[in-house]
Structure 1
Amino acid sequence: MEQYTEKIKNLVIDYAPKIAMAIAILLVGLFAIRIFVKASKKIMEKQQVDITLQKFLGDLLNWTLKALLFVTVISKLGVATTSFAAIIGAAGLAVGLALQGSLANFAGGTLIMIFKPFKVGDLIEAQGVTGVVKEIQIFTTHINTPGNKLAIVPNGSLSNGNIINYTAEGQLRVDLTFGVSYDADIKKTKEILMDVLTANPKVLSDPAPTVNVSELADSSVNFAVRPWVETADYWDVYFGTTENVKLALDKAGIEIPYPHSVEIQKEG
């Protein structure tokens, strides 16, 4: 018993300072990390960094500093950091192999937040989905489709594919085509179509709308109608112009041709 008691005393004497130092480093380190992360977030707010990117960078900084602090505390307790680093590396490799898809999405989310091909509120088309960006997360991006459906797109495929941002330039051109009969007066038809566009307050005057003959089709003369609009007014102008053109052409007596079925009767 005396021998065991003596050994315990020696262990306490040897390790007490190390344990005290490790606890002190841990407490001071956690406090310093909290202050540093808060200061970093305030700097990003002043620099008007995107909110999603602020949260991502803040979390990344927080966990990186805590990991370094943990290694420092362990080393003060006498644990060999080289073997500890080897264990972390092996564990990291195993986790990386198991989460290849998730890591690709994480990397894609990081690229999206840094290079900003789109932001929350933009109307985009990507990966077969068209809609307004609702939220950009670390692994996925949430998009509201025109039918008010929520599409969740992985950031890995999103960052590596083609992205069409309809909002980036601030204005959109509405591409419409209307066909009229060959008997119709071309100049009069162009005037009617242009009047429909200029009468719509949501159609921009700069760039000016255009109306041109685009094709002499089999049964119709087709006109390319191209009004410019603000992004938010796209569908209102698209549907409104389609309806108003039909009404205006009917009023002017201009025929919009449609396929006719011809019955052939056999004799005998």
Structure 2
Amino acid sequence: MNEYFNEEKIQSIIEMIIPYVVNLGIAIVVFIIGKWLARKITNIVVSILKRIKGIDVTLVKFIENIVYYILMMVVILTALSKLGVETTSFFAILGAAGLAIGLALKDSLGNFASGVMLIMFKPFKVGDFVTVAGVSGTVNEISIFSSILTTGDNQRMIVPNGSIIAGTIVNVNANPTRRVDLVVGIGYDDDIKKAKNVLTNILESNEKILQEKGLTVAVSELADSSVNFVVRAWVNTPDYWAVKFALTEEVKTRFDQEGISIPYPQQDVHHHNQA
């Protein structure tokens, strides 16, 4: 009787375990095949993205990770369902967790979205000199959440991408040429034609100025204390500051040599004595 009971108990245990063992095997097979498919699909997506002209490597890598982890989440939940685990509750938990994380990291997610836009649309690239979010500097790195700039005095500035997208982006290096603009004033007693000839000669003698793009020397304003000229010339972008500094110095030197004054604001005060 005892032996019969033991055999019956063992048989009952075996019959109870077998479905779990079968389900475990199926779950393992589903996981292995699913993982292989997830990697395969991810590689296909990456291959398609790499064929897109100009797409950034950082964005490709990020999308690769997102696609793979989403697919693996589906694989894991499918494998768990084969074990008899109720996955509906998992989806509910994941949804609630995703909402909580989204609210907690809304600023970070905003920076991430902005980073994707910067990488995709490329308003600037590494090496450009830009003004963004009130900061001017050379771009050293563009990442998903922030961009790193080095200022002219060698400070390292980390700017959130959200602030960059929300404001005006000035890219100094976007175009191969730039226009140098100067305003030069002379006294009312000075010879306008002589000053104009001197300024034109200064522009024509500078080798870095692109003469073929034209020069401008013209009277723009009769100001309170001076007659103002606009002086405009085109240069290659890398030469901009060197030419601007050189022209400013040359104007002062040549005006001194030619006896042309550069007036400064002044007021004449007339005092009348009344008896």
TM score, norm. by length of structure 1: 0.84
Residue 174 of structure 1 aligns to a residue in which SS?
Answer: strand
Q: 1:213 aligns with which of 219, 222, 225?
A: 219
**Residue 125 of structure 2 corresponds to residue 125 of structure 1:** no
The answer to whether residue 31 in structure 2 is matched with residue 26 in structure 1 is yes
Give the alignment of 1:38-57 within 5 angstroms: 38-48=43-53, 49-57=55-63
Q: 1:95 to 1:196 in 2, by over 3 A?
A: same
User: Could you say what the CA RMSD is over the residues aligned between the two structures, in angstroms?
Assistant: 3.0
Q: 1:38 Cα deviation (Å)?
A: 4.0
State the AA in 1 paired with 2:24: I
Which residue number in structure 2 is paired with residue 100 of structure 1? 106
Which residue is 2:67 aligned to?
A: 61
Gaps in structure 2 of 5+ consecutive residues: none
**Higher mean C-alpha deviation, range 104-113 or range 37-46:** 37-46
Aligned to 1:154: 160
- 1:248 paired with 2:254, answer yes
Q: Secondary structure at the match of 1:227?
A: strand
Cα displacement (A) at 1:158: 1.6
Match for residue 72 of structure 1 among 63, 70, 78: 78
CA–CA distance in structure 2, aligned partners of residues 62 and 110 of structure 1: 18
Change over 3 Å in CA distance of 1:50–1:190 after alignment to 2: farther
Please give the per-residue CA displacement for 1:116-158, whole angstroms capped at 9, x wherever unaligned.
Answer: 3333233322211122322211111122222222222111122
Deviation for aligned residue 1:244: 2.0
SS at match of 2:213: coil
AA matched with 2:34: G
Per the alignment, do residues 88 and 260 of structure 1 end up closer, same or farther by CA in structure 2, a change over 3 Å counting? same
- Matched-pair contact (CA < 8 Å) for 2:180–2:235: yes
Please state how far the C-alpha of 1:102 moved relative to its aligned partner: 0.9
2:41 & 2:208 partners in 1: Cα distance?
50
2:162 is matched by which residue type in structure 1?
A: G
CA separation of 1:84/1:233 partners in 2, compared to 1, >3 Å: closer, same or farther? same
What secondary structure sits across from 1:175 in the alignment? strand
**Native 8 Å contact 2:225 2:266 kept in 1:** no
Deviation of the 1:60 alpha carbon: 2.5
**Per-residue deviation, residues 85-126 of structure 1 (Å, max 9, x unmatched):** 100000111111111211111121122223333332333222
CA distance in 2, matches of 1:229, 1:43: 41
Aligned residue for 2:108, secondary structure, equals helix
Q: Relative to structure 1, is the Cα distance of residues 138 and 254 closer, same or farther in structure 2, using a 3 angstrom cutoff?
A: same
Q: Which amino acid aligns with 2:57?
A: I
Render the CA deviation track for 1:35-56: whole Å, top value 9, x for unaligned. 4444544443443322332233
Report whether the alignment pairs 1:86 with 2:96: no
- Quote the Cα distance in structure 2 between the aligned partners of 1:129 and 1:171: 22
Gapped regions of structure 1 (runs ≥ 5)? none
Q: How does 1:112-261 map to 2 (within 5 A)?
A: 112-259=118-265
SS of the residue 1:237 aligns to: helix
Count of residues paired in the alignment: 266
Residues 147 and 160, structure 2, Cα contact 8 Å, conserved in 1: yes
Question: Could you tell me how far apart the structure 1 residues matched to 2:213 and 2:59 are?
Answer: 35
